[in-house]
Chains A and B, each alone.
Chain A
Amino acid sequence: MSVFISLLKKELRTCFYSPIAYVVMFFFWALTGGNFIWLLSQLAHGESLTIATQLMFSGPMLTFALPVVVPLITMRLFAEERKLGTLEALLTTSVRVPELVIAKFTGALIFYGVLWLPVFVYVFFQSRLAPAEVTGFPDGGALFCGAIGVMLVGALYVAIGLFMSSLTSNQIVAAIGGFAILFGSFLGMMYMAYTAQSSGVRIVGQYYSSFAHMLDFARGILDSRIVVMYITHAAWFLFATVRIVESKRA
């Protein structure tokens, strides 16, 4: 356990030492700000407050940004270790591969969580701005589900990004590969879910589209099928990463 803690601490430290973390943070925080402004303008045009809570987590500006942002966080994880040769140094100590993979995953997921923190500041302001006679706002349940939702989606995205990073020693390749898979499936599933002609294809799309899932989560719907899907898919990619790191050494 102490080895895991050391690995995790090291991951977080490296993450926050790297300039790319701050670039990503700046970019994403600017988007959350943009999202909030857009949301306020929707309210000014007479949109309901319920919608306003939903858009905190599932505004299109944010959901479309995630497939770009996450590979930028994860590209470093294994590719850099391979490039520097430190993977060899790590794996010749008593570190076990699964331990290492989970430490990297957890570190990246924590950073991903930090990216979402400004949303809670906006929720605070929004609740202060709301007139006194409005009750049931902010909607704690919907906010909670929205937060769970973004973390679940994040877990799968980070696991995919980590997997791509384990395949190569080139960070650019890892980032572009992750971006291609995430953005490709994001758009593809969204297209299937909303515009496909055949109802069968539409159902499959709705099962898999993280855009649709994030809307649901933000409305306060916690569908156990979807929760299980994200957890198992993320676990599968982590497992695949472990196998890649174990076998791809020279």
Chain B
Amino acid sequence: MIKVSGVTKKYPARLAVDNISFEVNRGEIVGFLGPNGAGKTTTMRMLTGYLPMNSGTIEVAGFDIAKYPEDVRRRIGYLPESCPLYPEMRVDEYLKFRASLKGVKHSIRRAKINEVKEQCGLTEVGKRIIGQLSKGYRQRVGLADSLVHDPDLLVLDEPTVGLDPFQIRQVRELITKLAERHTILLSTHILQEVEAICERILIINEGKIVASDTEANLHRKLHACSIIEMEILAEKAFASEKVAQIPGLDVRNATELADGWLWLEVEADSAAMRVELFNLAVAEGWPLRELSEQQHSLEDTFVQITRKKGAE
């Protein structure tokens, strides 16, 4: 659906995007992550034909954006950062205006607008003035606008920024629903959002793509070993020694808790080695009240990837 190859964008003072290449397949939901100023918005603006690039090519649905900008724009529904709208217009007026600009035929315009209004939960507020709507509703108007011409690809630049948790959940549900029919590229720096919605993650840092994979694969690549936590009732030095004797296990941390229990953090070749630990506890007669694998959060992974690059 999207094929970006070797794209570079220079601003007068700095290199915003540095020779990036990536692909997004039809039907995918891809999360586009990166610290502020990493080049997310610039990339999206080039993708939608708003900014020209210095070198490289971008193809959307098989059309080169430099040669056929109109064909590309017709296939993209774009929600720019901060969701710009005309505050003085009514929701219906605005959607009608946008639909006509996007070449939605007059005969189906009304039906199309009603359809996206229903999809985005705007049926009740059609007559309201946009400037008087809450941020959540405005965001939905922006989404409805990006859907009105039935695009194949949705490019959403931080669609949930500035919303309250309840609104975030609503917008997120809406996006998940849209994913059934559209390919989606979504930028954000809210990691839970990516965890909740996206199938694949692209991470950009300082203008370069530093990772492109599913969340699980990213974790696997970065964290070669698993961390197992256990809580037993045993003597610290003795228990640590016993655990370390098992091949493939290594005690990283042992702490005596306030209630007399011992908390162990064990590095293991795989999470399956929890069984060995259980067997050990049984053999030694240690009471065991907790045995679990530590989950890596996307946040850890993200920080690790972007920091590693920054330190080089």
A and B found bound together: yes
CB distance from B60 to the nearest CB of A (A): 12
Q: Are B80 and A85 in contact (CB under 8 A)?
A: yes
Interface assignment of A90: CB less than 8 Å from any CB of chain B: yes
Q: Are A94 and B102 in contact (CB under 8 A)?
A: yes
Type the 1/0 row for A1-27, where 1 means its CB is closer than 8 Å to any CB of B. 011001101100110011000000000
Q: Are B51 and A250 in contact (CB under 8 A)?
A: yes
Q: Are B73 and A94 in contact (CB under 8 A)?
A: yes
Residue A85 contacts which of B70, B74, B84 (CB distance < 8 angstroms)? B84
CA separation between A92 and B73, bound complex, in Å?
A: 6
Contacts of B82 in A (CB 8 A): 85
Interface assignment of B240: CB less than 8 Å from any CB of chain A: no
Contacts of A2 in B (CB 8 A): 100, 106
CA separation between A13 and B84, bound complex, in Å?
A: 18
Closest A residue, CB atoms, query B79 = A89
Type the 1/0 row for B66-80, where 1 means its CB is closer than 8 Å to any CB of A. 000010011010101
Q: Are A84 and B78 in contact (CB under 8 A)?
A: no
CA separation between A89 and B78, bound complex, in Å?
A: 8
Interface assignment of A88: CB less than 8 Å from any CB of chain B: yes
Closest B residue, CB atoms, query A80 = B86
Task: Pick 25 A–B contacts, CB within 8 A, sort by A.
Answer: A6-B97, A6-B101, A7-B101, A13-B93, A14-B89, A17-B88, A85-B80, A86-B84, A86-B85, A86-B86, A88-B50, A89-B78, A89-B80, A92-B48, A92-B76, A92-B80, A93-B73, A93-B102, A94-B73, A94-B74, A94-B102, A94-B103, A95-B101, A249-B51, A250-B11
Q: With A14-B86, A88-B50, A250-B51 in contact, do A94 and B80 touch (Cβ < 8 Å)? A: no
Closest A residue, CB atoms, query B9 = A250
CA separation between A90 and B100, bound complex, in Å?
A: 12
CB distance from A250 to the nearest CB of B (A): 6
Q: Are B101 and A94 in contact (CB under 8 A)?
A: yes
Residue B86 contacts which of A3, A84, A88, A91 (CB distance < 8 angstroms)? A84
Residue A3 contacts which of B11, B49, B100 (CB distance < 8 angstroms)? B100
Q: With A88-B50, A92-B49 in contact, do A6 and B84 touch (Cβ < 8 Å)? A: no
B interface residues, how many (CB within 8 angstroms): 30
Contacts of A7 in B (CB 8 A): 101
Given contacts A3-B103, A9-B97, A85-B81, 18 further A-B contacts (CB under 8 A): A3-B101, A7-B101, A13-B89, A14-B86, A14-B89, A17-B88, A18-B88, A84-B84, A84-B85, A85-B84, A86-B85, A89-B80, A92-B50, A92-B80, A94-B102, A94-B103, A249-B50, A250-B42
CA separation between A186 and B50, bound complex, in Å?
A: 38
CA separation between A14 and B101, bound complex, in Å?
A: 16
Contacts of A18 in B (CB 8 A): 88
Contacts of A3 in B (CB 8 A): 100-101, 103
CB distance from B84 to the nearest CB of A (A): 3
Closest B residue, CB atoms, query A89 = B84
Contacts of A89 in B (CB 8 A): 78, 80, 84, 98, 145
Contacts of A13 in B (CB 8 A): 89, 93
Give chain B's interface residues, CB within 8 Å of chain A: 11, 42, 45, 48-51, 70, 73-74, 76, 78, 80-82, 84-89, 93, 97-98, 100-103, 106, 145
Q: Are A91 and B100 in contact (CB under 8 A)?
A: no
Contacts of A6 in B (CB 8 A): 97, 100-101
Q: With A93-B73, A250-B11 in contact, do A88 and B80 touch (Cβ < 8 Å)? A: yes
CB distance from B228 to the nearest CB of A (A): 49
From residue 220 to 244 of chain A, which have CB atoms closer than 8 A to chain B?
Answer: none
CB distance from B92 to the nearest CB of A (A): 13
CA separation between A13 and B92, bound complex, in Å?
A: 14
Residue B88 contacts which of A9, A14, A90 (CB distance < 8 angstroms)? A14
**4 shortest A-B CB distances, which residue pairs?**
A85-B84, A6-B100, A86-B84, A93-B101
From residue 38 to 77 of chain A, which have CB atoms closer than 8 A to chain B?
Answer: none
Closest B residue, CB atoms, query A7 = B101
CA separation between A193 and B81, bound complex, in Å?
A: 52
CA separation between A91 and B98, bound complex, in Å?
A: 11
Closest B residue, CB atoms, query A96 = B70
Closest A residue, CB atoms, query B78 = A92
CA separation between A187 and B234, bound complex, in Å?
A: 96
CA separation between A183 and B98, bound complex, in Å?
A: 37
Contacts of A17 in B (CB 8 A): 88
CA separation between A9 and B86, bound complex, in Å?
A: 14
CB distance from B107 to the nearest CB of A (A): 12
CA separation between A59 and B101, bound complex, in Å?
A: 42
Q: Are A94 and B70 in contact (CB under 8 A)?
A: yes
Contacts of B86 in A (CB 8 A): 10, 14, 84, 86
